[in-house]
Chain A
């Protein structure tokens, strides 16, 4: 196989792995919470069963909804799939003509965020609008942090592409514990929690419409549309969590070289599944012992993470 073909194979494999694994990750998060609370739990397969069930159902749309109601779920799912292809989870290799650049990744994230926000507004219900307003407020605070944190990580590598950043940490493990790197990863982790609507920013398991952020936006979606939105959101969660895991523990990821071979890819798949599962368990455990912040305190948390990211950028120039 030529290098080019190998890279394409690697990227396709990476995307497939993320898509298959994302519902399982959600299952892990729910199951861990259930066990901490002394419940039996629904099992790891339940999110997949839900997806299959929803995908078989015809979507119903509220009166007065527009083309946005059709398009937004596709865009949300599409941006999730694109993220899965671009962000180094299984492999750091990426097609040369498709830049997995920092700005591209953040933009793809934002496209999904905005599509979800518009979907919440489309049906014109009060809950959806409320969710969208909160969601976009949070997004406006989160995106700069993501941008800045990844930028801080890119300084020592001299490249804003995520692949080389992860490879750089693999080549020089000292960077993993460098102060600037730690600050940047912490800032990124907080941003990921907010971006993916987890406690303490949002409560994914609440039934209280007035407190919802993410759930309020998808209240009007059903059937295939809901399946697309849910899978898209889960992809974002999985990819971002896997990225943080790869930044903290870069070992095992299949590096680019001139296109990774199948053994390296196999190791990469196992490594990323284990790393993400472990970070999922840690995330769910941390959530169990946390409460949800008052909505007006969320900006304080996110400002804090922005300051960390800013310090990381400064630090990476001053102390490397």
Chain B
């Protein structure tokens, strides 16, 4: 860890604090009470042991705290022969989910976990197979013989007169990723919904291991296709902290710009698809037209329609700056279609009051991104965990748009207004960059640290706060990359929002969340 920074060093380095099984729960409780949020629990292979890191962060500039943000990692090593930790599930809901993930992938048992069911693991995996346990080797790369999925996935059966179950998926009509949903329904009203994910578990985190940080970019861009910039940026920030690289101010601004371009094209497409789900196809085709224009714009900026190739470890490259006129036109078109849709009484009737996620539930479950902001939770990593010096930002960070209703309409309008905010930012940033902009001098690349170093990258991707934790070995190769897509936090909130929603409104509710399967399943 370097000396205390003078002035805001962006992003903040992670303070590592060792802890023990006996003190873990108290340490976590203290950090949570001090305004920290659980970002991730990361497990890493150590000789004969598993090293666990509980990463928490406190936003910058909160009213109760100074302007300084804080990032803390509580570390704990458990021997593989005695692999258990005291659960923190009762203190942090996301923490409990990370524990289940680690139990399935590394075999570390969370003791006294209130909901000890398997999470990542599907029933056809061989018993006692923990795919991420142990150093990567030819042996761990061998996919074992999968048996048949004999055990039925245990769903809580809802009994009673007239209750029936609807199983949906994992193969869906249309171009949707795989996920299995089990509805317990009375008439048309959903009593309970259970989602089964992790059909897309590809072992992405394992694939990073052994690559150089620069080679990992290609993989990070492909974790979730629609979040190429978000994942790559979080990955790059984490690598830069681990390697001690300083990114020139100009490249930071370019990264912020790419992040907003990604937000724009995804929001435009999703707004259209939400309207398509209420059979308002006319609005959808117009928004897909806007999306196509934005994708072509992206192509002119980084040479790739989904903005791959823009962010790299240590900087960012663009072929050309975006055409401000096209960005403005796209935002105006989106605003126009959204206005027309919301003036339509039938459309409005479908969106209002559908699938409400209350603020308390959103806070308790640690929900992120537009889903949280639509439920009145003001979280936005662009402001809370900035990576660009605010002095450089034209007009400050893009505004976080908050609504309190928590229904489909709130998620719809939050995203519509985010498109406007993003467009304003892109235009302003383009002007700054075109007028010379902040310094671009990278300075000499520092020598590799020659020891094991770690870094954390936190980014407000379009779905919400996204973070990567990277460990670089003494040989300069990646030892462990932990990816947390906001979908991991947001998926469990969907069934909560569905209480008392009717079955034919589920696709609409699901689309208004639109969480990633690939980003969640990894």
Candidate in A33, A208, A290, A293 with the most chain B CB atoms within 10 angstroms? A208
**For residues 315 through 362 of chain B, which have their beta carbon under 8 Å from a beta carbon of chain A?**
344, 346-347, 349-350
Q: Which residues of A contact B160 (CB under 8 A)?
A: none
Q: How many chain A residues have a CB neighbour from B under 8 Å? A: 30
Contact status B279-A209, CB under 8 Å = no
A293 pairs with B174, CB closer than 8 A: no
B residues in contact with A36, CB < 8 Å: 282
Contact of B188 among A200, A207, A296 (CB under 8 A): A296
Query: Contact check: which of A289, A293, A297 meets B282 at CB < 8 Å?
Result: A289
Query: Given the complex of chains A and B, what is the CA–CA distance between A289 and B282 in angstroms?
Result: 7
Residues 267-294 of B, flagged 1 when their CB comes within 8 A of A and 0 if not, give 0000000010111111001000100000
| Cα–Cα, bound, A291→B350 (Å) | 9
Chain B contacts of A130 at CB under 8 A?
Answer: 166, 503
Assembled-state Cα–Cα distance A126/B282 (Å): 31
CA distance A200 to B347 in the complex (A): 11
Contact yes or no, B164 A126, CB < 8 A? yes
In contact, B279 and A292 (Cβ under 8 angstroms): yes
Contact A296 B167 (CB under 8 A): no
Whether the pair B173, A207 counts as a contact (CB closer than 8 A) is: yes
Contact of B168 with A by CB under 8 A: yes
Residues of A within 8 A of B281 (CB): 33, 37, 205, 288
Number of A-B contacts (CB under 8 A): 75
**A interface footprint on B159-194 (CB within 8 Å = 1, 0 otherwise):** 000001111100011100000000000001000000
Q: Are A208 and B278 in contact (CB under 8 A)?
A: no
A46 in the interface (beta carbon within 8 A)? no
User: Which B residues, 477 to 513, have Cβ-Cβ distances below 8 Å to chain A?
Assistant: 502-507
Instruction: Write the chain A residue with the least CB distance to B181.
Output: A210
Q: Which residues of A contact B172 (CB under 8 A)?
A: 209
Is A210 in contact with B168, judged by CB distance below 8 angstroms?
yes
Beta-carbon contact of A296 and B502 below 8 Å: yes
Kindly report which residue of chain B lies nearest to residue A129, judged by CB atoms: B164
Q: Is there an interface contact between A208 and B277, defined as CB atoms closer than 8 Å?
A: yes
Interface size class of B (residues with CB under 8 A): 20 to 34
Residue with the greatest number of chain B CB neighbours at <10 A, chosen from A36, A127, A203, A211: A211
* Alpha-carbon gap, A39 to B167, bound state (A): 35
B282 touches A209 (CB 8 A): no
- Min CB distance B308 to A, Å, is 29
Give A216 to B278 CA distance when docked, in angstroms: 17
Specify which of B289, B344, B504 is in contact with A295 (CB 8 Å cutoff).
Answer: B504
With the chains together, A110 CA to B286 CA distance in Å? Answer: 40
Contacts of A309 in B (CB 8 A): none
Q: Mark A190-228, 1 if CB is under 8 A from B, else 0.
A: 000000000110010111111100000000000000000
Nearest residue in A to B507 (C-beta to C-beta)? A208
Q: Which residue of B lies closest to A204 (CB)?
A: B279
Interface residues of B in 245-281 (CB under 8 A from A): 275, 277-281
Distance to closest chain A CB from B64 (angstroms): 43
Q: Once the chains bind, are A291 and B503 in contact (CB under 8 Å)?
A: no
Looking at the assembled complex, report how far the CB atom of B155 sits from the nearest CB atom of chain A, in whole angstroms.
14
Please pick, from B164, B167, B504, the residue contacting A211 in the complex, using a CB distance under 8 A.
B504
- The CA-CA distance from A290 to B283 in the complex, in Å, is 11
The reply to whether B350 and A38 contact each other, CB–CB distance below 8 Å, is no
Ordered by A's residue number, 13 sampled pairs between the chains whose C-beta atoms are within 8 Å are A37-B282, A38-B285, A126-B168, A130-B166, A130-B503, A134-B188, A199-B279, A209-B168, A209-B173, A210-B168, A210-B503, A291-B350, A294-B350
Q: Which 6 A-B pairs have the closest CB atoms?
A: A292-B279, A207-B174, A207-B173, A126-B166, A291-B346, A203-B279
Name A residues whose Cβ lies closer than 8 Å to a Cβ of B.
33, 36-39, 126-127, 129-130, 134, 199-200, 203, 205-211, 288-297
